[in-house]
Each structure stands twice: as C-alpha cells, then as structure tokens.
C-alpha cells in the first residue's frame, strides 16, 4: 500500500478533488468491495470524518469516480467525432480516442471494467461500458440512415464496438510487453472495417439462410 500523503491545508474543493483521485486509484487496484474509508482517508492524509463529510461514505465517492470516468471517456469520443469525415475515419478516431483514454487514465479505465457492487447499477462492469455505448448509438443510427439501412440494430453495433475495444484494452493495458497503440488500433479497425465495409442490410445466420439454388 502506498504511504499516506502528508496532511496539508486545502480548500474544500481541493480536498474533494484529492479524495476523488485517491479513491479512484484505490478502487482501481483493490476494487470497491476491497476499499475502505479508513484506507482512503489514510492515503489522503485526513481523518475518516472528512471522507464522510464530502461523500457520505465510499459508496458516494465511488459513484462520483464512476460518473467522472464515464464523462471523460464520452468527452474524448465526442471530441474525436466532432469533425465530419467518412465512416472509416470516424471509426479510427473513435478507436484511438478510447485507447488514448485507457493509456492516459489507466486507473479510471480500470474502475470502469471492474465489476461494480450490487448497490451500483446491476453489479456488472458490462453495465458501465453499456452506459457509454448507449451514447454512441446516435452515430450508428445516423450512419445507417444515411446509407439506407434500418437504424433499429444500432444499439447492437454500438455495444459491440465499445465492448470489443474495452476487452482488447484490458489485455493491452495489462500486457507486459504491450504493442504500440497505433498498431493495436490498426488491427482493431482492420477487423471491424472488413466486416462493416460489406455490411448486409438484412443479415441472417448462415444456418437459417436459404440454400443456394442448384445450377440447371
């Protein structure tokens, strides 16, 4: 465990921000179930009542940490997609934005992909990433409509995009000799684009497809 920080005089806003950072790092390393108010307070160099005063307990602090992480990743994606471009370039920007977030804020990403407690959402890490994917649906809906596709399955594609990148990101962030970010992005895009490029309007499972008509 990291040594506690020396206690310094801070404004209420500064102290709150400090506790958010400390809590984020502890939740990332120990999980919210393993974290304690005592550890958070000790690491921050304050007493436990200070944590309760700002957040009401570790549950309140965890909620703030999660909300901030989600907002940060949504801002990164929104900024990346703010300029008009073709779908392949937009896909590249989205993938790189997510990888940039993972690289620059590994603790925030770790919090998002860890299982959340039963009192937060449905208790799964997937629920946190799904909240992000919901915000990406609009991009798919607009793209599908512009190409004459039914936008109804947009949530499926959004969940698939965010879920696959998140899972790859877990591997990438924890890989001892991890490859270059652009190398990873290029291969993610290669896999996705070669599927998206020739997307069928009304796909069916191969086992349900009509058998080919025999040649005369």
Q: How far is CA 75 from the centre of its chain?
A: 11
83-125 pLDDT, tens digit each = 877 778 888 888 999 999 999 999 999 988 875 555 455 444 5
The domain covering 66-197 belongs, at the CATH homologous superfamily level, to Tetracycline Repressor, domain 2 (1.10.357.10)
Q: What is the largest CA-CA distance in the chain?
A: 88
Residue 47 is given by DSSP the state -
* Predicted TM-score (pTM) of this structure: 0.77
For residue 109, CA distances in Å to 162, 184, 190 come to: 13, 17, 24
Convert 179-196 to b/e letters by CB count within 10 Å (16 or more is b): eeeeebbeebbeebeeee
66-82 pLDDT, tens digit each = 889 988 988 888 888 77
Burial (CB count <10 Å: 0-12, 13-18, 19+), residue 205 = exposed
The pair of structure tokens assigned to 199 is 């997307």
131-161 pLDDT, tens digit each = 778 877 877 787 778 778 888 988 888 888 8
């Amino acid at each position: 465990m990291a040594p506690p920080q020396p206690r310094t005089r801070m404004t209420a806003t500064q102290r709150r921000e400090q506790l958010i950072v400390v809590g984020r790092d502890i939740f990332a390393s120990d999980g919210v179930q393993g974290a304690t108010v005592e550890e958070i307070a000790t690491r921050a160099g304050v007493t436990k009542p200070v944590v309760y005063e700002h957040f009401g307990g570790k549950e309140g602090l965890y909620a703030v940490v999660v909300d901030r992480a989600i907002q940060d990743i949504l801002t990164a994606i929104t900024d990346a997609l703010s300029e008009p471009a073709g779908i392949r370039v937009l896909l590249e920007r989205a993938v790189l934005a997510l990888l940039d977030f993972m690289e620059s804020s590994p603790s925030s990403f770790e919090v998002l992909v860890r299982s959340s407690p039963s009192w937060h959402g449905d208790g799964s890490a997937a629920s946190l990433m799904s909240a992000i994917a919901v915000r990406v649906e609009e991009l798919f809906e607009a793209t599908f409509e512009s190409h004459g596709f039914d936008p109804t399955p947009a949530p499926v594609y959004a969940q698939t995009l965010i879920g696959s990148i998140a899972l790859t990101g877990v591997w990438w962030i924890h890989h001892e000799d991890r490859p270059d970010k652009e190398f990873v992005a290029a291969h993610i895009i290669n896999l996705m684009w070669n599927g998206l490029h020739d997307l069928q309007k009304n796909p069916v499972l191969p086992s349900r497809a009509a058998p080919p008509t025999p040649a005369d």
